[in-house]
């Protein structure tokens, strides 16, 4: 008997527990925490915003002009990214006269998770080459 390629079109179920599947479906759709987590992930999934979070964590706090210089983008572009991060409470701001300084909001559990990821230098081990992940 030869080996068959397994993919998402080759599922052959021997038995099914419809009650279990219904319970899992209801649980997945009733969990509002997953909605919030998806919103946080969506905000942080943009490469520039994730880099901004990393830079803000490393620097402690920076103003819009600092971030514009670091990323070589316009201040309005930085402000748009920060608005998205602020809306999800991933960054917080403090005003000093005319200047607003931003920092990672560590009151947010998702932001703390990202900071922990940065601190553990786990991001350095991420690869897009799946061969590197296989034994």
pLDDT tens digit at each of 135 positions of the chain: 445 565 666 777 788 888 998 999 998 888 888 888 888 888 888 999 999 999 999 999 999 999 999 999 999 999 999 999 999 999 999 999 999 999 999 999 999 999 988 888 755 665 556 565 555
Write down the pLDDT at residue 31.
84
| CATH classification at residue 125 | 1.10.10.10
- Residue ranges making up the domain that contains 78: 18-132
- Domain assignment present for residue 114? The answer is yes
Write down the pLDDT at residue 12.
76
59 near 36, Cβ under 8 Å? Answer: no
Report how many domains make up the chain: 1
- Domain assignment present for residue 86? The answer is yes
- Which two tokens mark 84? 């998205």
Rounded Cα–Cα distance for residues 135 and 131 (Å): 8
- Domain assignment present for residue 81? The answer is yes
Write down the pLDDT at residue 131.
61
């Amino acid at each position: 008997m030869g080996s068959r390629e397994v993919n998402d079109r080759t599922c052959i179920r021997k038995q099914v527990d419809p009650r279990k599947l219904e319970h899992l479906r209801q649980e997945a759709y009733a969990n509002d925490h997953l909605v919030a987590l998806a919103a946080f992930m969506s905000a942080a999934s943009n490469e520039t915003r994730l880099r901004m979070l990393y830079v803000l964590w490393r620097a402690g706090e920076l103003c819009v002009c600092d971030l514009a210089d670091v990323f070589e983008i316009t201040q309005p572009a930085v402000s748009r990214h920060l608005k998205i991060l602020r809306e999800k409470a991933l960054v917080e701001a403090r005003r000093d006269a005319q200047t607003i300084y931003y920092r990672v909001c560590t009151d947010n559990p998702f932001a703390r998770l990202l900071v922990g990821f940065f601190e553990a230098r786990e991001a350095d081990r991420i690869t897009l080459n799946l061969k590197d992940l296989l034994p």
